[in-house]
Amino acid sequence: MSSVGSGTSGGHDNIVRADAALTFRVDKQQAISFKVLGNRRDAVFANPGAQRQTQVTVGVFYTLLGQDRFGTVDWR
């Protein structure tokens, strides 16, 4: 049995993940989207001790939207 990654050292991990996105319409079917993704891991084990890892990713995207009114037919 391996002691690497086996969980026998009596430690623990706390992992938190957050994801948020906003989209703003620029023109009829064009938009700009902003996305933020955050991850954090707090680990406590006998060897090497307590560690914290944090990563944040930010993205800006051009978005092509579908048809107005989701393609419904106007019966007027």
**What tens digit of pLDDT does each residue of 22-52 get?**
999 998 889 999 999 999 999 888 777 788 9
4 within domain boundaries:
no
58 within domain boundaries:
yes
Residue 54 reports pLDDT greater than 90:
yes
70 within domain boundaries:
no
- pTM of this structure: 0.62
71 within domain boundaries:
no
**Structural domains counted in the chain:** 1
> Which is more confidently placed, 46 or 55?
55
**Rg of the chain's alpha carbons, rounded to an integer?**
22
The DSSP annotation for the chain comes to --SSSSSTT--EEEEEEEEEEEEEEEETTEEEEEEEEEEEEEEE-SSS-EEEEEEEEEEEEEEE---GGGG-----
47 within domain boundaries:
yes
Residue numbers of the domain that contains 29: 12-64
Residue type, 41: R
60 within domain boundaries:
yes
